[in-house]
Amino acid sequence: MIGRFFARYTIWIYATLAFVFLLIPIIYTIVFSFNDSRRTNIAWRGFTLDNWIYLCEEQGVCQAFVNSILVGVIATLLATTLGTMIAIALVRYRFKFRAATTLLLFLPMATPEVVLGTGLAAEFLTAGIPKGMLTVILAHTMFCISFVVVTVRARVASLDPAMEEAGRDLYASPGQVFMRVTFPLLLPGIIAAALLSFALSFDDFIITNFNSGPFVTFPKYLYTAAAKGMPAEANVVASAVFFIAIIAVVVSQLSAAAKRKRLAKQ
Amino acid sequence: MAFGAFATSAPVVESAPRRRSRVALLLLLPGIAYLALFFLVPLVSLILTSFQEKTPGTDIGVYSYAFNLENYAFIFSTYGEHMLRSVFYAVVATVLALLFSYPLAYFIGVTLRRFPLLQALALTLVIAPFFISFLLRTLAWKQILSDEGPVISTLKGLSLLGSDAHFTGTAGAVIFGLAYNFIPFMTLPIYTSLEKLDLRYVEAGGDLYASPARTFFSVTLPLSAPGVISGTLLTFIPISGDYVNASNAFLGSSETAMVGNVIESQFFTSQNYPVAAALSIVLMAAILLLVSIYVRKSGTEDLV
């Protein structure tokens, strides 16, 4: 009886344990954002909200966080624009060097970050460009483009060309067709690509480390702090980002489910 | 093209009409020029740097162009051990991540099919680690698994471990951290393959009196092969270049240094850019070689 129960539910038990395992370090990080840690945040010393309330008193955490947001937003805007243009061209047009273009788009995803990082650093060194915020943005835009192309391309491919033809039949100019038909239909794919880019940029450490010079992003701050003891304020920033991201995912999934329900009713 | 294997979704049917190639050029040019400037030129620059030699009578970190293979001879004689270690860690961590992820992906993609809401929740839990910085996740493991941490001290208390045993700083800890950090990259592509799996094939296996194990190895696994292949690539490549898990401040020690750690210390501490560049080139060449052998061996050229 008990044996059969286990045989039947083995995979449920396994999956539950696997999820617990995946969440352990996340829960640890969130719990220790409430630790009353004075100097080092290793042993538990009691609950406090001070780390959350006086967040920016810790030197550098807030600045690093703001820097990461700035870099993420600018790199995302650049990569999403360039990548969406490439995705449209790949699906809609026939051109020479198509295979070479696809290869050029795949290679950055297949290259280890340490190689991308040292390569860019070698280039900036040779060209005499001082490392800082600009070089970090240039680097992040580069590795985000390929991921944008992959994401948006699937959306362009699923687009029904009849929609745009209808626009043209109604005497819309090519610009109007793009702005009022193509772009709105591509928007979900573009938003997904932008979110992915931002996440990649925000969490990047290795490429940033080689190309940032004195400029500090949040992951770079963490790497430096790890050697000398992590302040609890770093856990606060990470936990806050985690909660915002989870809420965003849940809201988007619930709204998608509600939309499906509405469509099913009609 | 080996890298087609990265595409997990069904091949996109692209009926490209032959029209207005000037528009195509305008759409492509900015992005392609950007990638040429910040991906291809850096690779060339890396190759050129790897042949440089020290300018005599100058400060540390000043090099001039030359065609000098000494850097390569130096890294093969000095860092051969680190290269083998990187490949070994990356292979073991990738296999561990695969063994962990496959049943989990099967659970989400097949078992949870009847429960769409639970399936969405499970997928959110798999990607949840992405939302918290991977440096902090790794540091959390370091503290949980440290000698004074809950796991090791409990095991010592139960006399399951000797009193001088420790985990952080060992090869096991580094491999553990690498596998943990890249689990979502393995689980998601396998899930994508299994989610589309037509269960009637699996039933057919049972109807033909195949044992569950036989059905799994002759039906389920081959049908999910595209996901397994892209998952292993998405895991293996970043792991082999990683240097965070293996560094002293995280899960490693000086005995666990990988190629990435050597590149970092050559670059920042010794400011020996030519040696760092040569190591990067060798790492990239080794990965391209291993990946193309793997993709060919796994018989997926139809994917390409």
Establish if A263 touches chain B: CB-CB under 8 angstroms. Answer: no
Reduced DSSP (H G I as helix, E B as strand, rest coil) percent helix, strand, coil of chain A, to 5 = 80, 0, 20
In a domain, A157, yes or no: yes
Number of domains in chain A: 1
Gyration radius of chain B over CA positions: 24
Mean pLDDT for the stretch of residues A216-237: 88
Q: Over 90: is that where the pLDDT of A256 sits?
A: no
Residues A204 and A171 sit within 8 Å (Cβ to Cβ)? no
Question: Do residue A223 and residue B277 have CB atoms under 8 angstroms apart?
Answer: no
Angstrom distance (rounded) from CA A265 to CA B222: 39
Mean predicted confidence (pLDDT) in B27-46: 95
**What's the topology of domain B2-14+79-302?**
MetI-like fold (1.10.3720)
Q: What is the pLDDT of residue B6?
A: 47
A256, closest residue in chain B (CA to CA): B120
pLDDT at B31 over 70: yes
Does residue A168 lie within any of the structural domains? yes
Contacts of B235 (CB under 8 A, 6+ apart): B93, B94, B97, B98, B182, B185, B186
Q: Provide the mean pLDDT of chain B.
A: 86
Average pLDDT over residues A163-188: 88
Average pLDDT over residues A200-210: 94
Residue A146 lies in domain:
67-230
pLDDT of the residue at A1: 55
SS3 content of chain B, % helix, strand, coil (to 5): 70, 0, 25
pLDDT at A4: 65
b vs e for B97-124, b when ≥16 Cβ sit within 10 Å of the residue's Cβ?
bbebbbbbbbbbbbbbeeeeeebbebbe
Is the confidence at residue B11, as pLDDT, over 70? no
Helices (H), B51-133: 70-109, 116-127
Does the residue A39 lie in any domain? no
pLDDT of residue B33 exceeding 60? yes
Look up residue B142 and give its two tokens: 């370091």
Per-domain residue ranges of chain B: 2-14+79-302
- DSSP H/E element including B64: strand B63-64
Chain A contact set for B106 (CB, 8 A): 11
In a domain, A247, yes or no: no
- Whether the predicted pLDDT of B61 surpasses 50: yes
Would you say residue A153 lies in a domain?
yes
Q: What's the rounded mean pLDDT across residues B201-216?
A: 87
Chain A residues within an 8 Å CB radius of B249: 223, 226-227
Nearest to B98 by CA among B239, B260, B301: B239
pLDDT for the residue numbered B20: 62
Read off the pLDDT of residues A33-44 as tens digits, 9 standing for 90 and up.
898 877 677 778
pLDDT at B9 over 60: no
The reply to whether B5 touches chain A by the CB within 8 Å rule is no
From the CA of A140, how many Å to the nearest CA of chain B? Answer: 10
Q: Looking up tokens 């193309």, which residue turns up?
A: B292
Q: For A47-89, what is each residue's pLDDT tens digit? A: 888 888 887 877 788 899 999 999 999 999 999 999 999 999 9
Residue A252 counted as domain residue: no
**Residue at A166 is within a domain:** yes
Partner residue facing B24 (CB), from A28, A95, A121: A95
Q: Does the model's ipTM exceed the 0.90 cut?
A: no
What is the reported pLDDT for A2? 63
Across the range B23-49, mean pLDDT stands at 93
* A111, A222, A246: residue with CB nearest B128: A246
| Model confidence, pTM | 0.87
> Which uninterrupted H or E stretch holds B166?
none
A118 within 8 A of B263, measured Cβ to Cβ? yes
A14 part of contact set with chain B, CB < 8 Å: yes
φ, ψ for residue B211 (rounded to 5)?
Answer: -70, 160
**What is the predicted pLDDT for the residue at A110?**
86
Min Cα–Cα distance to chain B from A225, Å: 9
What Rg, from alpha-carbon coordinates, does chain A have? 23
d(CA B302, CA B304): 5
Q: Tell me if chain A has a CB within 8 Å of the CB of B72.
A: no
Q: Which two tokens stand for residue A141?
A: 């835009």
The more confidently predicted of residues A201 and B53 is A201
Task: Report whether B186 contacts B234 (CB < 8 A).
Answer: yes
Weakest mean pLDDT among A9-18, A73-82, A138-147, A171-180: A171-180
B295: nearest Cα among B199, B228, B203, B204: B228
- Assign A3 a pLDDT band (cuts: 50, 70, 90): low
- Paired strand residues for A47: A35
Residues A150-176, mean pLDDT to the nearest whole number: 88
pLDDT tens-digit map of B164-188: 778 888 999 999 999 999 999 999 9
Q: How confident is the model at residue B8 (pLDDT cuts 50, 70, 90)?
A: very low
CATH of the domain at A140: 1.10.3720.10
pLDDT at A180 over 80: yes
Q: In whole angstroms, what is the distance from residue A124 CA to residue A135 CA?
A: 8
pLDDT category at B3 given cuts 50, 70, 90 is: very low
pLDDT reading at B205 higher than 80: yes
A22 touches B at CB < 8 Å: yes
> Do the domain assignments include residue A237?
no
- Give residue-wise pLDDT tens across range B115-170: 988 998 899 899 888 888 899 999 999 989 988 778 887 888 787 777 777 888 89
Contact B244 A99 (CB under 8 A): no
Residues 6+ apart with CB under 8 A from B55: B62, B63, B64
Interface of B with A in 240-259 (CB under 8 A): 240-244, 248-250, 259
Average pLDDT, chain A: 89
Question: Six-digit token pair at A164?
Answer: 């745009």
